[in-house]
Amino acid sequence: MLDEIHDEKIKFLEEQALKIRELIIDMLLEAGSGHSAGPLGMADIFSALFFHILRYDVNNPQWLERDRLIISNGHICPVLYASLALAGFFPLEELKTLRKIGSRLQGHPHRGSLPGIENTSGPLGEGISQAIGIAIAGKLDRKDYHVYCIDSDGGTQEGNTWEAYMFLGKQKLDNLTIIIDRNYIQIDGFTENVMPLEPLKDKLEAFGLNVIEINGHNIRSFIEAVQRAKATKFKTTAIIAHTIPGKGVDFIEGKFEWHGKVPNQTEAEEAVKELRTLRGKIISEHQ
């Protein structure tokens, strides 16, 4: 069970999320390519995962008892890299090498390239199957680690995702929690226009999953959902996290055009200024 969450810890996690967003902007500006909307939208969840929920040891990244974080939607890797660096897995300065030739920070995560990366991802929809394999291995080895799999709503349009869900309905892996980034956008439009997913909760429940819906920017709600997931036995839990793509940067929020677009110098400066203002408000509100 997770430690009790206090207001001061929530404040810390909210501040970390904004730091992660600032790093994302800096990385994407330097790279000149990548994805903006999804990584910014997932910063609150990654802050909660890396600074409250996940069990890991930065000095021993291959610790056998560590929790495993699997990324199915690999294009959001800037939020993963920023979180790993803030957690101490590698130097913050290396973030500026995103997508550069010879960099360990590739455009999609690659297992073995950086400490803390558990899976290689690229094509959407593969991560849940990878997470299932790791969860089954944990059961067979009688390990206590928990597996978390991040997926996107766009990734949920892939057929192999539903094969994996069908398999989960049979296996009842309660050491696996799936977190779906429900931001309603994909590269060329809104999900409900491109390939409707609703009623998503009903569909997942029909496949035998325990489903929890939350506001993905409410860190306390997310942590409580994870606690409920870990307390649920003989079922895999899927947390549908409703997020705003581009969260924290007004001119990016909710715009599908920013799925695979990066800010220019002027836009990056405006974004960082806005994020630092938000950090100042959080600090003042909690004083």
Torsion of CA 208, 213, 216, 219, to 10 degrees: -100
The whole-number pLDDT of residue 182 equals 98
Closest CA to 76 of 137, 122, 32: 122
Beta carbons within 8 Å of 67's beta carbon, 6+ residues apart: 53, 54, 55, 56, 145, 146, 147, 148
Phi, psi of 53 (to 5 degrees): -95, -50
- The count of C-alpha atoms lying within 13 angstroms of the C-alpha of 53, restricted to the half-sphere facing its C-beta, is 28
Asked whether residue 235 carries a pLDDT value surpassing 90, the answer given is yes
Q: Which fold has domain 7-285?
A: Rossmann fold (3.40.50)
Q: Is the peptide bond before 196 cis (omega within 30 degrees of 0)?
A: no
Asked whether residue 123 carries a pLDDT value surpassing 90, the answer given is no
Asked if residue 169 lies in contact with residue 139, where contact means CB atoms within 8 angstroms, the answer is no
The whole-number pLDDT of residue 287 equals 61
DSSP states of 6-39: -HHHHHHHHHHHHHHHHHHHHHHHHHS-S--HHH
Share of the chain above pLDDT 90, in %: 94
Asked if residue 89 lies in contact with residue 51, where contact means CB atoms within 8 angstroms, the answer is no
The arithmetic mean of pLDDT across residues 158-169, rounded, is: 96
Report the amino acid identity of residue 250: D
- Reported as a single tens digit per residue, the pLDDT across 27-60 is 999 999 999 999 999 999 999 999 999 999 999 9
Asked whether residue 122 carries a pLDDT value surpassing 90, the answer given is no
Q: What does the DSSP 8-state code read for residue 258?
A: G
Return mean pLDDT, the chain.
Answer: 96
What is the residue extent of each domain of the chain? 7-285
Asked whether residue 236 carries a pLDDT value surpassing 60, the answer given is yes
> To which H or E segment does residue 43 belong?
helix 43-48
Model confidence at 285, pLDDT cuts 50, 70, 90, reads confident
Structure tokens at 92: 């913050």
User: What is the three-class DSSP state of 141?
Assistant: coil
Cα–Cα distance between 55 and 52 in angstroms, integer?
8
CA angle 53, 55, 61 (to 5 degrees): 135
CA angle 136, 78, 18 (to 5 degrees): 110
Report the DSSP beta bridge partners of residue 213: 240
The arithmetic mean of pLDDT across residues 210-221, rounded, is: 98
The arithmetic mean of pLDDT across residues 192-219, rounded, is: 98
Task: Please report where in the chains the tokens 């997932």 appear, as a residue.
Answer: 42
